[in-house]
């Protein structure tokens, strides 16, 4: 058993490491070291917290930690990089559910302490948390109850919302916005009922209020995310990340755990900032994203003229062999086909021929912020040729060839040309300004969001149909 001084010192060290980890993740070259900062910080947090004052029950605590670590190692080894978005959503759900359970337990302990004090004023057996509760003044107990309410509400919304997000990202739930009859009124009604239950609880109502509050919050999380379209999933994932952080912070206040408060606040604030950045990248209002499906057209979309013209590997190779500059724009289709290694091989071959090759990355490409950057880093694509949208958008007009791999909305000119389009005003990569555009795509469908793309019908665009990995592997031997 360690003293509180050791635990506090470890909490400060872990907090510093978490801050360094977040700061390092903003740069691809520093990201690996930043991840290790986070790993070491979490190891310190778990070790010193488990040995802190008032902690016991090691006969079950240690096995649970070993089992949890084993599951983590197994999942890390089994999950493909292309499945990272749904894994992140699943992990958010665990944080939310843990917050609900801790809040319930905290209130049960509070009730047990008050009952013992009312009986004889002596606690025969008590946990570290119960001992803490026994020293609190009435106004401090009221704040404890408020913290319990917040932890349950935010945690329950995070849990079911993350489960639905996992289903949509994994393709197990329809990506289109779905809501029950009554739509947002149901969410508003559940929120009002939750507030009434919180008031009843704070005025002495029984534990049943917290159970019903959790049930209503579970519904809000489920119905809220079901009503959001698949194209908004990058924002939803970062938003749920923020929710999980605030849920952890609320639990930290409940348990008087400074490290949990700091860590939760870091995750919550960074997730909120990332959500704002994602919304800005999509020209979307954050509240509108949370309350509804993707887009909101004001009239009939513009008619698209022309036809999609297909091309084979030989035609694409000929254009690439003649080109001096090439920009590759990856999207979720590259992740699904696991084509990042083939893309990396193509880049090495083109650069060996003296061609200038770069990548254009849209902030919401894929199903998770930074999804494409992670996949390209895994395939060992040099960091210095992977550029963000703002860095490369002005260069398309002077580029010989653009290869679009599995992208749709982020290269859709309707965002600029059609005010009635559901994505009108969304900043996009202006690939159509290049001399030639080749789109690697499975078929003629409209993609995840169901929005038609005029790019596919333009005179300088050719459709390179087929599985992205197979198509690129067929192209590689033809490059000089």
Q: Which of 52-66, 83-97, 187-201, 346-360 has the lowest mean pLDDT?
A: 52-66
116 CB contacts (<8 Å, ≥6 apart)?
122, 123, 124
The percentage of the chain sitting over the pLDDT mark of 70, rounded to a whole number, equals: 89
Angle between helices 84-119 and 371-378 (to 10 degrees): 120
DSSP notation for 350-398: HHHTT-EEEEEE-TT-SSSTTHHHHHHHHTT--GGGEEEHHHHGGGGGG
Do residues 45 and 261 make contact, with C-beta atoms less than 8 angstroms apart? no
Of 48, 35, 162, the C-alpha closest to 95 is: 162
Q: Is the pLDDT of residue 296 over 50?
A: no
Residue 28: DSSP 8-state: G
Q: Is the pLDDT of residue 349 over 90?
A: yes
**Sequential DSSP letters for 38-91:** HHHHHHHHHHHHHTSTT---HHHHHHHHHHHHHHHHHHHHHS-GGGHHHHHHHH
Which pLDDT band, with edges at 50, 70 and 90, does 127 fall under? low
Domain boundaries in the chain? 1-78, 84-291, 313-478
Dist. CA 165–CA 89, nearest whole Å? 6
Measured from the Cβ of residue 218, the count of other Cβ atoms closer than 10 Å reads 21
Q: Residue 396's pLDDT is what?
A: 96
> Which of 283 and 383 is assigned the larger pLDDT?
383
The CATH fold of domain 313-478? Rossmann fold (3.40.50)
Q: What is the reported pLDDT for 67?
A: 93
Residue 391 has pLDDT above 90, yes or no: yes
Query: Can you state the percent helix, strand and coil of the chain, rounding each to 5?
Result: 65, 5, 30
Instruction: Taking residues 198-209, report their average pLDDT.
Output: 92
The tokens describing 215, both together, are 């049930």
Of the residues 409, 467, 470, 480, which is catalytic? 409
Burial class of residue 262 (count of CB atoms within 10 Å of its CB; 0-12, 13-18, 19+): buried
Has residue 329 got a pLDDT over 80?
Answer: yes
Q: Which residue has the higher pLDDT, 113 or 189?
A: 189
In this prediction, residues 322-331 reach a mean pLDDT of 95
Chain segment 74-109, per-residue pLDDT in tens:
888 888 777 778 888 888 899 999 999 999 988 888
- The conformation of residue 406, written as its DSSP 8-state character, comes to S
Q: What is the pTM of this model?
A: 0.78
pLDDT at 31 over 70: yes
Mean pLDDT of 179-205: 90
Q: How confident is the model at residue 476 (pLDDT cuts 50, 70, 90)?
A: very high
Q: Is 409 a catalytic residue?
A: yes
Strand order in the sheet with 325-330: 386-388, 356-361, 325-330, 401-405, 436-441, 461-465
Residues in Cβ contact with 182 at an 8 Å cutoff, skipping those fewer than 6 apart: 189
Residues 6 or more apart whose CB falls under 8 angstroms from that of 429 comprise: 329, 360, 362, 389, 392, 393, 396, 407, 410, 411
- Mean pLDDT (the chain) is 85
pLDDT score at 401: 96
- pLDDT surpassing 80 at residue 315: yes
- CA 258, 259, 262, 263: dihedral to nearest 10 degrees? -150
Residue 181 has pLDDT above 70, yes or no: yes
Query: Given pLDDT bands bounded at 50, 70 and 90, which one contains residue 450?
Result: low
Residue of 237 and 462 predicted with greater confidence: 462
**pLDDT value of residue 448:** 58
């Amino acid at each position: 058993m360690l003293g509180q001084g050791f635990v506090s010192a470890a909490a400060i060290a872990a907090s510093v490491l978490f801050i360094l980890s977040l700061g390092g993740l903003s740069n691809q070259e520093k990201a690996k070291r930043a991840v290790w900062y986070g790993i070491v910080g979490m190891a310190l947090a778990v070790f010193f917290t488990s040995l802190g004052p008032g902690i016991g029950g090691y006969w079950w605590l240690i096995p649970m930690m070993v089992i949890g670590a084993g599951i983590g190692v197994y999942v890390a080894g089994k999950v493909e990089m292309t499945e990272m978005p749904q894994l992140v959503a699943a992990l958010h759900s665990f944080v939310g559910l843990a917050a609900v359970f801790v809040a319930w337990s905290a209130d049960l302990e509070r009730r047990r302490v008050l009952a013992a004090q009312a009986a004889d004023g002596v606690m025969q057996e008590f946990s570290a948390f119960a001992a803490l509760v026994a020293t609190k003044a009435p106004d401090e107990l009221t704040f404890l109850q408020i913290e319990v309410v917040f932890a349950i509400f935010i945690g329950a919304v995070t849990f079911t919302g993350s489960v639905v997000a996992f289903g949509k990202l994994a393709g197990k739930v329809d990506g289109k916005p779905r809501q029950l009859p009554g739509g947002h009124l149901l969410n508003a009604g559940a929120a009002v009922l939750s507030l009434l239950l919180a008031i009843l609880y704070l005025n002495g109502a029984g534990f049943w209020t917290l159970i019903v509050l959790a049930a209503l919050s579970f519904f809000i999380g489920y119905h809220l995310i079901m009503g959001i379209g698949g194209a908004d999933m990058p924002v939803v994932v970062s938003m749920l990340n923020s929710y999980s952080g605030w849920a952890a912070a609320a639990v930290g206040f409940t348990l008087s755990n400074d490290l949990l408060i700091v860590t939760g606040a870091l995750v919550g604030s960074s997730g909120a900032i990332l959500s704002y950045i994602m919304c800005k990248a999509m020209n979307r209002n954050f509240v509108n994203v949370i309350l509804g499906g993707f887009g909101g057209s004001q009239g009939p979309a513009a008619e698209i003229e022309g036809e999609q013209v297909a091309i084979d590997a030989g035609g694409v190779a000929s254009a690439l062999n003649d080109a001096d500059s090439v920009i590759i724009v990856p999207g979720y289709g590259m992740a699904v086909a696991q084509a990042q290694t083939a893309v990396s091989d193509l880049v090495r071959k083109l650069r060996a021929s003296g061609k200038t090759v770069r990548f254009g990355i849209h902030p919401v490409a894929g199903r998770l912020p930074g999804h494409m950057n992670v996949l390209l880093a895994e395939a060992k694509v040099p960091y210095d040729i992977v550029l963000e949208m703002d860095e490369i958008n002005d260069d398309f007009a002077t580029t010989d060839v653009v290869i679009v791999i599995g992208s749709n909305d982020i290269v859709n000119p309707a965002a600029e040309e059609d005010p009635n389009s559901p994505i009108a005003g969304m900043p996009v990569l202006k690939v159509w300004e290049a001399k030639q555009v080749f789109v690697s795509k499975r078929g003629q469908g409209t993609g995840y969001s169901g929005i038609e793309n005029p790019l596919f019908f333009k005179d300088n665009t050719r459709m390179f149909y087929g599985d992205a990995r197979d198509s690129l592997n067929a192209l590689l031997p033809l490059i000089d």
